[in-house]
Amino acid sequence: MPHRPLSILITVLLAPAALAVSEGAATLPLPVGTYGQPVHVPYDQGDGLPVEGVARVAVDKAGAVYATTASKASYRLGENGWTPAEGSKGLFPTRPGYDSLDAVGVRPDSVRDVALHDGEVAIAAESGLYLGDGEDWQLGLPVAGTVRWAPVDVRAVAYDRQGRLWFAAPQGVGYRESAEAWKLFTGKEGLPFNDFTCMAAGPESVWFGTTNGAIQYRDGQWHFRQGRRWLLDNHVLDIAVGEDGTAWLATSGGVSAIGNMPMTLAEKADFFESEVEKYHRRTAFGYVNPATLAVPGDKSTAKTRFSDNDGFNTGLYLGAMSFAWATTGEERYRGYAHDAFRALAFLSEVTQGGPYGGPEGLIARNVVPTTEPDPGAVYDKDYDVRRNERDSLWKIMERRVPVDKTGDWYWKTDASSDELDGHFFGAAIYYDRVCSTEEERDRVRVVVRRIMDHLITHNYNLVDYDGKPTRWGRFSPDDLNRDPAWHAERGLNCYSILTYLSIAHHVLGDEKYREEYLKLAYEEGYGMNGMSQPKDVSGPHDPGHQPDDNMAFMNYYHLIRYETDPKLLSMYQFAIREHWEYERLDRNSFSNFVYGACARGKSRTDQWRTTDLSPPASCYEDAVDTLKRYPLDLVEWSMSNAHRIDMTPMAHHGDGPTTMGGDAHGYAYPIDERMESYWDWNYWKLSYKGEGTTLRPPHHYLLAYYMGRYHGFIAD
């Protein structure tokens, strides 16, 4: 791995404490300013360290970093990487022994750690925590209120910069507040894990190494670092913290440096925009998609790949760039938005004509130039048959990726509702925020009309070139109201088609779309369907289907803001309020900002009461905190929270261990402590298997950030 200069780890700018949860009204916009963005810089044999890894690490008074191996070889970090070092022996002293410990039954070989401060000596030993002056000892018995601990198997001790004594043991972690009072932590207080290996105190925080991750305690909060995003190996052998606050962690894979880089949310957006341009554009149309890395973690080997979600991803990106233009007025965003809309429009053009031409308005899932390998060259009919046996709506299609009439493009069939949600969501924001001439608006009108007319013509279904509805593009009353198989999707799909019709009426001004809209909303009960079932959940600890949640909030954004009918608006307001009560536990920036945009300053009156719909301050604060925590490293590395002791497991269905859970307070783990960085993936999944060969696009951050700025929720 190539050497990364020390300049990457900019001197720590102390991050402010996470925004406090408040249930009062929010004062907007929320000031953010410069904060400390956590970054990980890994150093391994490619940087000069030995293959055997590192056993200990130290930082001298001048800030130089040293490492030693199990075989006692020493290395020093310089501008050109790690080189063998001389004169570092004093940085790794042998722990002092105390013969007087025999008097209290402590064998020298049972001492794990020693710390000294103002004449006091603290000993971490197998049999407990011992305090003394080097001659006389007493067993430390931490007391917090009515709780008294007698910790055994104490793994580490340290004094922080305030002179507070800390200890770490399987029972938990504690620090001494005064001569008689201690602060004690277990999983209930947010301690993530308890199989400790080491500890080190820095200027503003205390770090703990464990056998499965690293932990930082700062400003009253616990931060868990696990997986290759943060560590070269999860078993941390030693920690040293420099005066700039950077934590240096020794592992068998090398040294991981975790520090805070001064950054603003706008600077993060700039970084992610450059990432999109470098790694995530696909085809001449610039579809935004994930990239495959030929070498794990090495972005220089990235190659953008096609997926099933050209329309969905690019629709979100179109929304992000449209908000960016409306917020900043920078011409580049206007250009990005124009290009993104053109890419979306092509997906409903490429399906027309040729031997596989579909009905006008049919959209493709994705497109691939015919200069590339044929994605449908190998057809596995047995797979289609087996899947059709399990799901009768799954179609057996020998040519699922046909060639267009020009012979220049492969296009994928069987588009779904999420593709349509992406098209309409992005197009409506683009129309409202970017289009400034009738020519630009007419281009949107053409695309919206042909897709909407296709759906109306085919009884509110998306019909493929074979003349049959696609698997998931079904919105007809016959399916949603009269087929029990569509019970779970009914609420979402009802609101999706109502959103499309609402956008069509808004963009085209044609009353036929309003008439169709009202017919579905009232006569077919679609307004009530979505009101009664915006989310198919079995309880407060079931996340439901996260992509459906995301699509629902995409639809709420236009459905509620465009509606003028008081009855329907009341239904939609009820739906989003009930839905957000579940979603608030995700601390999802996008859904929180959508709720703010739709509900701030609003109230809803029914026969029982008038309800203030305005979001609490925590709605905006959680959203901003998630944007700040959003990781810069979007490589799909393996990561797990399954072993955490602060976990609240979710209701489990079936045999086997729990696979989903959240923190001690019932919220999803923070976005920098889990793998799921998309707004539509499962935040509650405890483990993720990744090989480091996929780089995710950052358009989810860009959409939420620029939406928050546009609506005045963020001052940045």
The average confidence (pLDDT) of the chain is 93
Mean pLDDT (whole number) for 320-326: 98
Q: Which residue has the higher pLDDT, 225 or 146?
A: 225
Q: Is the pLDDT of residue 534 over 90?
A: no
Mean pLDDT (whole number) for 663-679: 95
What span, in angstroms and rounded, lies between the C-alpha atoms of 207 and 202?
8
Q: Which residue has the higher pLDDT, 654 or 685?
A: 685
SS3 string of 419-461?
Answer: HHHHHHHHHHHHHHHCCCCHHHHHHHHHHHHHHHHHHHHCCCE
The whole-number pLDDT of residue 652 equals 60
Q: Is the pLDDT of residue 698 over 90?
A: yes
> For residue 210, how many other CB atoms are within 10 A of its CB?
22
The CA–CA distances, whole Å, from 94 to 119, 146, 515 equal 19, 38, 83
Beta pairing, strands 137-139 & 302-304? unpaired
Question: Is 533 buried (19+), middle (13-18) or exposed (0-12) by CB count in 10 A?
Answer: buried
The whole-number pLDDT of residue 17 equals 32
Q: Which residue has the higher pLDDT, 509 or 658?
A: 509
Name the band, by pLDDT with cuts 50, 70 and 90, for residue 450.
very high
What span, in angstroms and rounded, lies between the C-alpha atoms of 583 and 550?
10
Name the band, by pLDDT with cuts 50, 70 and 90, for residue 278.
very high
Q: Is the pLDDT of residue 694 over 80?
A: yes
Name the band, by pLDDT with cuts 50, 70 and 90, for residue 9.
very low
Name the band, by pLDDT with cuts 50, 70 and 90, for residue 539.
very low
> For residue 300, how many other CB atoms are within 10 A of its CB?
10
The whole-number pLDDT of residue 655 equals 57
DSSP assignment string, 598-661: HHTT-EEE-SS-EEE-PPPHHHHHHHHHHHHH--S--EEEEEE-TT-SS-EEPP--SSSS--BE
Beta pairing, strands 714-715 & 30-31? parallel
CB proximity list for 654: less than 8 A, separation 6 or greater: none
What span, in angstroms and rounded, lies between the C-alpha atoms of 198 and 329?
51
**In degrees rounded to 5, what are phi and psi of residue 401?**
-130, 80
Residues comprising the chain, all counted: 716
Q: Which residue, 557, 563, 555, 552, is CA-closest to 499?
A: 555
Both tokens of residue 148? 């008294």
Name the band, by pLDDT with cuts 50, 70 and 90, for residue 546.
confident
Both tokens of residue 361? 């308005």
- Express each pLDDT in 153-173 by its tens digit: 999 999 999 999 999 999 999
Both tokens of residue 124? 């971490």
The whole-number pLDDT of residue 11 equals 33
The whole-number pLDDT of residue 550 equals 93
DSSP assignment string, 198-240: EEEE-SSEEEEEETTEEEEEETTEEEEE-STTT-SSSS--EEE
Name the band, by pLDDT with cuts 50, 70 and 90, for residue 179.
confident
CB proximity list for 10: less than 8 A, separation 6 or greater: 259, 261, 262
Mean pLDDT (whole number) for 628-638: 98
Beta pairing, strands 65-68 & 74-78? antiparallel
What span, in angstroms and rounded, lies between the C-alpha atoms of 471 and 460?
13
CA quadruple 276, 279, 280, 282: dihedral, nearest 10 = 130
The whole-number pLDDT of residue 650 equals 85
What span, in angstroms and rounded, lies between the C-alpha atoms of 696 and 304?
10
Both tokens of residue 503? 């956008």
Contact between 527 and 498 (Cβ < 8 Å): yes
- Express each pLDDT in 228-254 by its tens digit: 999 999 999 999 999 999 999 999 999
Q: Which residue has the higher pLDDT, 651 or 116?
A: 116
SS3 state of residue 39: strand
Strand-pairing partners, residue 576, are none
What span, in angstroms and rounded, lies between the C-alpha atoms of 221 and 190?
8
What span, in angstroms and rounded, lies between the C-alpha atoms of 158 and 161?
10
CA–chain centroid gap for 436, Å, is 34
DSSP assignment string, 678-690: STTS-TTB-EEEE
What span, in angstroms and rounded, lies between the C-alpha atoms of 238 and 66?
12
Q: Is the pLDDT of residue 532 over 50?
A: yes
What span, in angstroms and rounded, lies between the C-alpha atoms of 389 and 128?
62
Mean pLDDT (whole number) for 371-381: 93
The whole-number pLDDT of residue 12 equals 31
Mean pLDDT (whole number) for 349-378: 96
**Which has the minimum average pLDDT: 123-127, 533-537, 580-584, 696-700?**
533-537
Name the band, by pLDDT with cuts 50, 70 and 90, for residue 654.
low
What span, in angstroms and rounded, lies between the C-alpha atoms of 228 and 284?
33
The whole-number pLDDT of residue 656 equals 63
> For residue 386, how many other CB atoms are within 10 A of its CB?
12
- Express each pLDDT in 76-110 by its tens digit: 999 999 999 987 777 888 888 899 999 999 998 99
What span, in angstroms and rounded, lies between the C-alpha atoms of 548 and 259?
36
Q: Is the peptide bond before 42 cis (omega within 30 degrees of 0)?
A: no
Q: Which residue has the tokens 């009738």?
A: 438
Q: Output the pTM of the full model.
A: 0.94
Name the band, by pLDDT with cuts 50, 70 and 90, for residue 49.
very high
Q: Is the pLDDT of residue 22 over 50?
A: no
Name the band, by pLDDT with cuts 50, 70 and 90, for residue 627.
very high
Q: Is the pLDDT of residue 458 over 80?
A: yes
Beta pairing, strands 287-288 & 281-282? antiparallel
What span, in angstroms and rounded, lies between the C-alpha atoms of 474 and 476?
6
Contact between 596 and 584 (Cβ < 8 Å): no
What span, in angstroms and rounded, lies between the C-alpha atoms of 226 and 715?
32
Q: Is the pLDDT of residue 602 over 60?
A: yes
pLDDT more than 70, % of the chain = 94
Q: Which residue has the tokens 């149309």?
A: 285
Mean pLDDT (whole number) for 481-502: 95
Question: Is 514 buried (19+), middle (13-18) or exposed (0-12) by CB count in 10 A?
Answer: middle
